[in-house]
Amino acid sequence: MVRVPAAAGKSHPAEPAAVEAFAQIRGGGDRVPVRAPRAARSGTIRFPKEEIRMKKIDLHSHVLPDTVLDLMEKAPDADLFKAKVVRRDGKRFYARGKNQFELDPEYYSGEGKVAKMDRMKIDISYISTGPQAFCYWQKEEDAVRTVRAVNEGIAKMVDERPDRLRGMASVPMQHPDLAIAELEHAVKTYGFKGVEIATSIVGEEIASKKFRPFLKRCQDLKVSIFTHPENIGATGRLDCYYLTNLIGNPLDTTIMVANLMFSGALDELKELKFLLPHAGGFTAADIGRFQWGHGCRPDTSVDCKTPPMELLRRFWFDALAHNPKAVRFLIEQVGADRVVIGTDDPFDMGDMTPIDNIEKVPGLTDAERERIYFKNAHEFIGD
Ligand SMILES: [Zn+2]
């Protein structure tokens, strides 16, 4: 049975033909069934033209599952997460130093996440932990306990709404052997096809030889890698105005890209795919300098034979730039076949109207829209 996605609009006159048209278009080879909203099944929703044809897939969507929050709350002495869950007025709050926020249902409940996705006009989300649960400082025993709670929690949320949610694994990168073991467990047990890791691991580059066996295992298992900056913390001139996030996060991503390129890691692992959040940081703007440097500076080509411009094709970029003109520039630089939706939901730097904002990209064509909404996501994740 072919189903239609949740519609953003409501209470429009019935248009069964539109629902039927969507069903026909969605029919062939669609491996991601989407549950029809009750209103659509009863014929009370009118789908705007572009929403009839296209589903929307979000590859950058975070959660903090109950398994993690329970561990945070019930084992505070262990201080596993260097954070606490605080209860106040019947609500739960995440608290780590000055960083505190209310834990709304989209953090921990599959149904809550889907309700938020409906408001954002998103059909499918690949959910990954917020970086609050990376915990790369942990010793082996705590690391395994924490990361297993993350992966089980994400799998449970997906089980609540398998029609709308997919999971990405988390792994203890500070212990590369354990990271490989947990990756294998997550692929085998939960069927995850993506893994989320930080853009740097406690100051170490993921391009480092230390992590190469892990990257190779990802390639062997055909697992795509979502790289995400962790809280980079106070660092001199960035220690004001939230610059650790506004500049620090995209900078950390850009440094990781440069190291993956110039180290030869991408030449060695030719099938590996990376997704970059926040429009890839400064990569699209700086790639010309990478390319030029590779040609004129011998030290940049010692380990890397392939020109950076070519290696750019190994990366996918979310459209989370908070600026439609910047997304147009991104498309021109990296190609329309490398840009995907990324909301960063539910965090404050996220985009809660991602579809409306993509529609504002100057000169967006139907072909680009199709690619950004879902085709590129399918190609990245291999789903
Ligand atoms: Zn994020």
pLDDT tens, residue by residue, 247-294 = 999 999 999 999 999 999 999 999 999 999 999 999 999 999 999 999
Q: Ligand 1 center to residue 24 CA distance, Å? A: 35
Q: Ligand 1 center to residue 320 CA distance, Å? A: 10
Q: Output the pLDDT for position 18.
A: 34
Q: Ligand 1 center to residue 16 CA distance, Å? A: 38
Q: Ligand 1 center to residue 69 CA distance, Å? A: 18
Q: Higher model confidence: residue 12 or residue 56?
A: 56
Q: Ligand 1 center to residue 301 CA distance, Å? A: 32
Q: Output the pLDDT for position 46.
A: 45
Dihedral sign (CA 20, 22, 28, 31): negative
Q: Ligand 1 center to residue 62 CA distance, Å? A: 6
Q: Ligand 1 center to residue 211 CA distance, Å? A: 22
Dihedral sign (CA 90, 91, 92, 93): negative
Q: Ligand 1 center to residue 298 CA distance, Å? A: 36
Q: Ligand 1 center to residue 268 CA distance, Å? A: 28
Q: Ligand 1 center to residue 348 CA distance, Å? A: 10
Q: Ligand 1 center to residue 207 CA distance, Å? A: 21
51-78 confidence digits (pLDDT tens): 545 899 999 999 999 999 999 988 766 6
Q: Ligand 1 center to residue 226 CA distance, Å? A: 10
Mean pLDDT across 223-242 = 90
Is the CB of residue 167 less than 8 Å from the CB of residue 102?
no
Q: Ligand 1 center to residue 167 CA distance, Å? A: 14
Angstrom distance (rounded) from CA 65 to CA 268: 36
Q: Ligand 1 center to residue 228 CA distance, Å? A: 6
Q: Ligand 1 center to residue 79 CA distance, Å? A: 23
327-361 confidence digits (pLDDT tens): 999 999 999 999 999 999 999 999 999 999 999 99
Is the CB of residue 199 less than 8 Å from the CB of residue 227?
yes
pTM of the model: 0.85
Is the CB of residue 36 less than 8 Å from the CB of residue 22?
no
Place of tokens 């790639």: 287
Q: Ligand 1 center to residue 118 CA distance, Å? A: 19
What's the chain's average pLDDT? 87
Q: Ligand 1 center to residue 336 CA distance, Å? A: 22
Half-sphere exposure of 321 (CA within 13 A, CB side): 24
Q: Ligand 1 center to residue 342 CA distance, Å? A: 8
Report phi then psi at 257, rounded to 5: -60, -45
Angstrom distance (rounded) from CA 340 to CA 318: 5
Q: Ligand 1 center to residue 130 CA distance, Å? A: 7
Residue 226 has pLDDT above 90, yes or no: yes
Q: Ligand 1 center to residue 262 CA distance, Å? A: 25
